[in-house]
Amino acid sequence: MKTILILLISVKEIFPFIQYDTGLARNFDRTYDSSFVCENGYSRTATISFSNSFANIPQVFFVHEYFDQERPEMEFKLSITTITKTSFQAIIICSKKRVYSVKLRWFAIDDKRIEVINNFNMQNPDDKTFPIKNPNAQTGFVVLTSIYYTGSVDFLLSISSITINSVTVSITKVAGKFTNIKQIGYFVVVGIEEAFINLGLKTVTGAFSSGTLAIQPNRWFALAVVGFNYPNSDNIRIQASFTNTATTISYTWGTWYSIETPNSHSQIWILYQFTTIFTTLECFSIRTSRKQVKDLNILPTFNLEFVQSNQIFSANGNYDYSVNKLHTPLKMGIQVKCENNKKIQANFLKCNSCSIQKTNSFNYNCFNQMNYVGFYPLFQQSSQQYNHLKISIQSSSLEIIHVVYNQVITETIIAKILILDQ
């Protein structure tokens, strides 16, 4: 048994979990696999393995580095169907004319400071707004995944708006051409401020050379296709060819035959090792009060107010609330009914790193002359950030949880108030 235990420890040290990975998938490339004949309802599912196992199921997205698609009416659907700790599955369906080849540069990351939103195979394309989880994910990019066209097209995908809880993707609508787009798919990848370096949009009408680009440490380089100005007079043809040195990268963006399809793509450096660490709110000061209210029946059991925004929660239920990063220190006012023969127990997180006395704690016995209790805490954080709070108000309890997005998501109770029997 001792030998087996030592062996298991050794295996874990030799094969640790990975947090990020990338590769080139050629499962849908007829120049690599001649059996790939994707047209007239053909479909293929491919399993793409990671280089090692993740500790958690990662987020996965891909960009196109090679297009070869037939005219004049072409539809293909492409999506990720399953992601595990060791691989992901993608499926392509070619309903009409032939898709000769698509090469997918895929990226997998186990980090909640980046969020990948899938909008696969959207019928009747239009502008669309998506919810985002991390309020600090205030930057991002879009990348095309699939398309169905019936004639010439001219469109551009872009992030038109991003807030602390949503991101909106817009598509240009050129008269006489937009109606030819019947389906489109894309990823939206959002992240914190340091997540992406966007070198800008490149609108290409002929052979294109990037010039020499300095390699950015701990970042992937990605070409995000976001639009075509396609006359429907030839196949869609684009190919990326890279030249790398120890310190630089360059690429040509062109065709191997006939003419290149006019297109737009963004050059993105994507971070996979973060330095930004978000912290949990800490209660560094609190004021309390007690008073008598003659008619408690007209008041809610709990009344929670976020002072800077005048946002109030008093009805029983579960809520999500995002706090503006400018509201620092964060000021709350919590008032609680304190009926006769009851007692109040309240705890406010004051220190994340303390081994003892991590909370400010209060206990009050209730009586008629002092039947309404107020708590007025001030919360601070080590750096300026938006804060996602979960609020639960029940008949005899109020709980506030701070959700923090780093490499993993942590949920910490920063305030909890209970009404108990004496």
> Residue 14 has what pLDDT?
55
- The answer to whether 280 and 380 are in contact (CB under 8 A) is no
pTM equals: 0.90
233 vs 198, higher pLDDT: 198
Mean pLDDT of 29-39: 92
Output the pLDDT for position 9.
Answer: 46
The pLDDT tens digits of the residues spanning 65-81 come to 998 888 778 889 999 99
Residue 7: phi and psi, rounded to 5, are -65, -45
Q: What is the 3-state secondary structure (H, E, C) of the chain?
A: CHHHHHHHHHHHHHCCCECEEEEEECCCECCCCCCCCECCCEEEEEEEECCCCECCCCEEEEEEEEEEECCCCEEEEEEEEEECCCEEEEEEEECCCCEEEEEEEEEEECCCCEEEEEEEEEECCCCEEEECCCCCCCEEEEEEEEEEECCCEEEEEEEEEECCCEEEEEECCCCCCHHHEEEEEEEEEEECCCCEEEEEEEEECCCEECCCEECCCCEEEEEEEEEEEECCCCCEEEEEEEEECCCEEEEEEECCCCCCCCEEEEEEEEECCCCCCCCCCEEEEEEEEEECCCCHHHCCCEEEEECCCCEEECCCEEEEEEECCCCCCEEEEEEEECCCCEEEEEEEECCCCCCCCCEEEEEEECECCECEEEEEEEEECCCCCCEEEEEEEECCEEEEEEEEECCCEEEEEEEEEEEEEC
CB contact at 8 A, 116 and 145: no
Q: Per-residue confidence at 7, pLDDT binned at 50, 70, 90?
A: very low
More confident call, 370 vs 50: 50
Q: In the chain, what percentage of residues exceed pLDDT 90?
A: 81
* Average pLDDT score over residue span 191-219: 94
What is the arithmetic mean of pLDDT over 276-294? 94
Q: Residue 26 pLDDT > 50, yes or no?
A: yes
The pLDDT of 299-304, averaged and rounded, is 96
Res 5 pLDDT > 60: no
Has residue 112 got a pLDDT over 90?
Answer: yes
How many other CB atoms are there within 10 angstroms of residue 394's CB atom? 14
- Evaluated on CA atoms 340, 395, 284, 321, the torsion sign reads negative
Tell me what the pLDDT averaged over the chain comes to: 92
Tokens of 297: 């029946």
List the domain boundaries for the chain: 17-271, 282-421
Binning pLDDT at 50, 70 and 90, where does residue 10 land?
Answer: very low
Say yes or no to pLDDT of 3 above 60.
no
- pLDDT of res. 15: 58
pLDDT at 235 over 70: yes
Q: What is the mean pLDDT of residues 126-141?
A: 97
- The pLDDT of residue 382 is 78
pLDDT at 232 (0 to 100): 81
Tens of pLDDT along 321-367? 999 999 999 999 999 999 989 999 999 999 888 877 789 999 999 98
Check whether 149 has a pLDDT greater than 70: yes
Q: Could you read off the pLDDT of 257-278 as tens digits, one per residue?
A: 777 789 999 999 999 999 999 9
Which residues 6+ apart lie within 8 Å of 268 measured at CB? 141, 196, 197, 198, 199, 221, 222, 223, 224
